[in-house]
Amino acid sequence: MTPIDQDLADRRPVWVALSTLFLDTDLTPDRLEEVAAVLAASPYSLEELRRIFFEEVRPVLERNLSTPAGVWDAFDEAWLEREIVRHRKSLLLRLFRAWSPRGFAWAEEWADLRRRVERRRA
């Protein structure tokens, strides 16, 4: 996969779409379809999308879901990009966040999202 700093234009819409999964609101089928549409239109393979979700977006945003006053409408796109790039450049942050037990909780949601992307690309 192309390094983040050489691929921002293609990654931004994927990051923004995936970030909606971490808002402090219900994860509805309609929201999953909206995210799947953006992912399906991206140039990334399903494996690359999985890595973007689990290694770039999830580590930066998952704490929002456990915050009493979490973000519920949308994440600031400039902040999101800055935090993901900072996270990916920091080995210590990546190691610390990679071992989060919450990551396994997203396996079912990712499987559902993957199926939706596959259907759209078929």
In the block, tokens 């973007």 appear at 52
Beta carbons within 8 Å of 25's beta carbon, 6+ residues apart: 72
Other residues' Cβ atoms within 10 Å of the Cβ of residue 57: 24
| Segment 6-26, tens digit of pLDDT | 889 999 999 999 999 888 777
The confidence score (pLDDT) of residue 94 equals: 56
Question: Mean pLDDT, the chain, as a whole number?
Answer: 83
The confidence score (pLDDT) of residue 116 equals: 97
Mean pLDDT along residues 107-114: 90
Residue (of 19, 36, 12, 23) closest to 85 by Cα position:
12
Provide the residue ranges of all domains of the chain, joining segments of one domain with +: 4-121
| Segment 16-52, tens digit of pLDDT | 999 998 887 778 899 899 999 999 999 999 999 999 9
State the burial class of residue 50 (Cβ atoms within 10 Å of its Cβ: 0-12, 13-18, 19+). middle
| Segment 53-110, tens digit of pLDDT | 988 998 888 877 666 665 567 788 999 999 998 888 776 555 555 555 555 567 888 9
